[in-house]
Each structure stands twice: as C-alpha cells, then as structure tokens.
Amino acid sequence: MIVIQRKSLMGWGRTSPTVAKVVKASSDEELAEQVRSAGPRGVLARGLGRSYGDAAQNAGGVVLDLTGRDQVLAIDKASGVFTVEAGVSLDSLMRQFIPQGWFVPVTPGTRAVTVGGAIGSDIHGKNHHVKGTFGQHVRSLDLLTGTGEIRTLTPEDELFWATVGGMGLTGVVLRADVAMTPIESAFCSVDTRRCANLADLLVEMADDDAYEYSVAWVDCLARGESLGRSVLTRGRFARPDELPEKKQGHALDFNPRVPLTAPRGIPGGLLNKYSVAAFNEAWFRKAPAHRDGELQSVTTFFHPLDAVADWNRIYGPGGLLQYQVVVPDGAEDTIAACIDAFSNAGAASFLAVLKRFGPQNPGHLSFPTAGWTLALDVPATMSGLGELLDRLDRLVLDVGGKGYLAKDSRMSGETLRTMYPRLPRWQELRHEVDPDGVFQSDLARRLTL
C-alpha cells in the first residue's frame, strides 16, 4: 500500500524546512518502484527525523517514510543477532526486548531513532570507547540501490562501509541483522565525579576503559579557573543481586512513561545566557562530588532528554543547532579552546557533552575517531554564531579533527572535504551503485557531496 503526501520537513534543529513528497510504502517492491521512477529531485529515506540539520530532507523530491516498516523479523537467542526492519526504533526494541534480557548494542541520548537512521549516521553512544559505533554491531544489511535492486551486504563488502555513515545516500537500508547485548537488569550502576575544571576531568577520565559507559557533562558557561567544570558519569549494567530486594523479582522491567510534551509556540529568547547560566549552576551544585554504585534506570542514565517530548521547541521559532566535533588524542587543548570560545561568546548553551572515543571503523564517512568529542546545543539565532563556528572548524581542522554530518546544518563543502579525506572513494562507490544519482538530500546539495 502506498500513501503519498506533500509535507514540509525539518531536522531536529527546526532550522531549514523544505517541502517534499512523502511516500509511505509497505513492500520492498513498492519502494523499489519509487526508486526506479524517481524524478530529477531524487529520493531519500527518512526515519524519525532526529538528525539536527538537513540530512533527512529532500526538497522538491521524494522522501520515503520508513517508520511504518518496524517489525522484528527473526531472533537468534544463541548468537544474540536480531533481524529487524530498518524503520524499527531503538525505543521499540528496548520496550520489547529489555524485559527478555537484551539491550541495543549502542544507544545515543535518545531512543527515538530508527535502526536505518542509526546505520546511515553510524551513531555512537556512551560506550564508543569500548564498543565502537552502531554500524560495528550490524552483521548484514539489505540495501535497495539506485537501480532498484536489493543487495545483501556484510562487513566484508566495501559498500557496507560506504552505507554505514553514508547518510542514506548509497540507497535505502531495508533490513539489518543487529547483534544485541545481553543484560541481566534494566538498571545501571553509576559512578559520579564532580570535576572543578577541564584538567581535573581529563585526569578522572584516564581510567575510562574500566567502564562500559562513560560521558561527561560540561558547563560551557563556566570561565577562568572553572573552565570546563563538569560532572563525569560512568557505569555498567547492574547485576540483579545489586538491586534492592523488592526490585530483584522484576529486574528487567522496562516501561518508560509517555513523555511530557514541550508546549507549542514558545517565543524565542527565553534561553539566554542568564537563564541558562542559572540552570547550569543549579545542575552543577546538585551533582555529588563523588558517588559510587548509584542505581539508575536505563532512561535516567541513557536518555534523560526523552522525558520531555519535542524539547527542541524550547529554543523558539529560530531553532537550534548542535555543534559536535572530534579531535585526536593529544589535542585536548583544542577542546579547551572550543569550550573557551563558547564561554567567551556567552552562548546560551546548556551542558555540553564530552566523551572519549575509541578507534575509528572502516566507514568512509563515519564520524567517530580515537580522541575526544565535544557536542553542544546553541540557539541558531545567536548573533555571530556563523563566524564563531567557522573559526572553531578551522581550529579542529588544524589538529586533524572533524565534524559530524548527522548534526551539521552549516558546515562548508570545502571544510567537509578536508575533514573527510576518504570522501572521493565514497563518491566512487556511490556512483557505482547509483549511477543516475537517484539518492539525494538537502545536506548532499548543500555540501555538494
């Protein structure tokens, strides 16, 4: 069955809406027909629209809404490999399978992403330093290519790695075999350290490898001696015997409440450096200086922002932007320089996220590489933001770092080409499977990918 609707689509940052023909198709054959009959503006698959910029938009063309294709097709409990349709969300996988003792191999800060999106953006989570990206847990995937044929790819194929992190531009991921993680409880045992500044934090993070999950929240408005003051939270899944007695009987219960919804029509300007500084101050003081073995639920530990649906609306009609970069080990000064720049600019930024990445995978456009990643949200209307971020891009480039396409809405094509030296090879592979350039997106147009 096919449903077609003309719709204005935005990314999570709500900055650059464009209109496309949104098509919901239920069968592989119907999707293939959409690809074969594509017009000059092309086709693109879209999941839950959590990329911040224009990655899941295709102005004037066709956007295939895959969220209806959300079935789990097969479960192999011996190997832990699940065969799922690409439109299934991590939220759905967690609701269905945490109670059976299975967790997704990698989760970002929200459960509202599809498996297809997780592969296209090659997402990472708090366990990247030990477990790598989502794509590294995909054993095989079915890709609908630009010629309308379906190819099954495994990590042995170079096209697999062009698709992992390929932003949906090599084709439509239809299904994937994902290696899930066995767990014994739906709770995490969390150690917290409050760090007075960046140097303090980097020292604390030295033994990160002892933890399955690790992330630091940095107050970007703190200055001077306190620059980079932060709260480091690290943890692992708890064993049932670590839970309080009354919870031991149902250690795997997982039933997150339907989230609150941020109201519509919030005016711009509510988030300014004063309101955000007050929030950050309260948050920092609330954190314990040192606490070990605290039990937190999956939602509290992994997805705190999912408690408020559409929280992106609090940035008002001007929208928001997330700046995320990675720099190699040894370039910690560049992270400090970035935090310093936001602090000096008085950017109304809530907490930034700082995390250590493990090694890079073979994905041509995959973002994570060994080193430090910093991510922070800023209102898109902040004055001078364009120049500030362009300047930071140059600092990051100077040390061999890069930005993240799933978050990007403002990088220049030139910057991207320097950050991703393997782009030409990716373009060759893309051209081989999509010689007519059927797969297009606003991001691809903006950056001339």
- Least distance in angstroms from the C-beta of 328 to other proteins: 26
CA distance 411 to 233: 31
Binding residues for other proteins restricted to 217-246, rule: CB under 8 A = none
117 binds other proteins (CB under 8 A): no
In whole angstroms, how close is the CB of 8 to other proteins at the nearest point?
6
Residue nearer to other proteins on the CB measure, 59 or 419: 59
Show the tokens assigned to 85.
């349709």
Q: Which amino acid is at 266?
A: I
Dist. CA 339–CA 333, nearest whole Å: 10
- Based on the shown chain and the rule CB under 8 A, indicate whether residue 445 belongs to the binding site for other proteins: yes
Closest contact distance (angstroms) between CB of 6 and other proteins is 7
Question: Segment contacting other proteins (CB under 8 A): 11-19, 112-120, 159-167, 305-313?
Answer: 11-19
CB of 365 to other proteins, least distance (A): 18
64 binds other proteins (CB under 8 A): no
Provide the residue type at 13 as one letter: G
Rg (the chain; Cα; Å): 21
Interacting positions 317-336 with other proteins (CB under 8 A): 317, 319, 321
| Residue 59 lies near other proteins (rule: CB under 8 A) | yes
- Which residues in the 401-440 window bind other proteins by CB under 8 A? 409-410, 412
Please identify, among the stretches 28-36, 48-56, 95-103, 273-281, the one whose residues bind other proteins according to the rule CB under 8 A: 48-56
Among 252, 341, 385, 397, binds other proteins (CB under 8 A): 385
Query: Given the complex with other proteins, which of 12 and 372 has the nearer CB atom?
Result: 12
Stretch binding other proteins (CB under 8 A), from 12-20, 97-105, 144-152, 193-201: 12-20
Is 266 a residue that touches other proteins (CB under 8 A)?
no
Return the structure tokens found at 406. 């799933």
* Residues binding other proteins (CB under 8 A): 6, 8, 11, 13, 15-20, 41, 52-54, 58-61, 317, 319, 321, 380, 385-386, 409-410, 412, 442, 445-446
